[in-house]
Amino acid sequence: MAEQTPAPGNGMAAPQQRQMALQKIYVRDISFEVPNAPAVFREDGQPQVQLNLSHKATPIGDDSYEVILTLTVTCTLNERTAYLAEVQQAGIFGLVGFAQDEMNAVLGSYAPNVLFPYARQVISDMVQNGGFPPLLLQPINFDALYAEQLQRAAGGDTPALNA
């Protein structure tokens, strides 16, 4: 992307171009539990899967932010926990030249969209390696979730958007 260069004639810097760089993606924390093993493997029934997700962005200096997307999957079978899988998928994003509202949108929508496929793969691998059928989490519309969050913060009374 463009660098800041002096404007001709006055020695002043030209407005800085917006730049975004994905610097690192990593697993920050991971957990998998099968509290009712081995009995859970002998039970019949329809499993119920619940997904909870959250994310947070923390400045870590010099225009860089750590974004952590947390996915927690709880599977119950006959009202007992079959497994609990959780991953904190993180990334370091460098952002330069963004207005505050644009930066909030990047950190609240774009960054989770980038991290989600990695987190989904980690969850899928953990569940399958834990002895359960493969779990493929459906895509999530983080843009809609971010818009819903903005509406709640503004006190809007519109119905919730489904992701």
Tens digit of each residue's pLDDT (9 = 90 or more) over 23-34: 999 999 999 999
The interaxial angle of helices 111-129 and 142-154, nearest 10 deg, is: 120
Is 132's pLDDT higher than 80? yes
Quote the tokens at residue 154.
């503004």
CATH number of the 19-136 domain? 3.10.420.10
Task: Please report the pLDDT score of residue 87 as a whole number.
Answer: 98
| Mean pLDDT across 86-110 | 95
What pLDDT score does 2 carry?
Answer: 47
Q: Return the H-helix or E-strand segment holding 96.
A: strand 80-96
Is the pLDDT confidence value at 131 over 80?
Answer: yes
How much is the pLDDT for 10?
53
pTM to 2 decimals? 0.82
Name the residue ranges covered by the structural domains of the chain: 19-136
Q: Where are the beta strands (DSSP E) in the chain?
A: 19-33, 48-61, 64-77, 80-96
Q: What is the mean pLDDT of the segment spanning 96-119?
A: 95
The β-bridge partners of 77 are 80
Tens digit of pLDDT for each residue in 96-105? 999 999 999 9
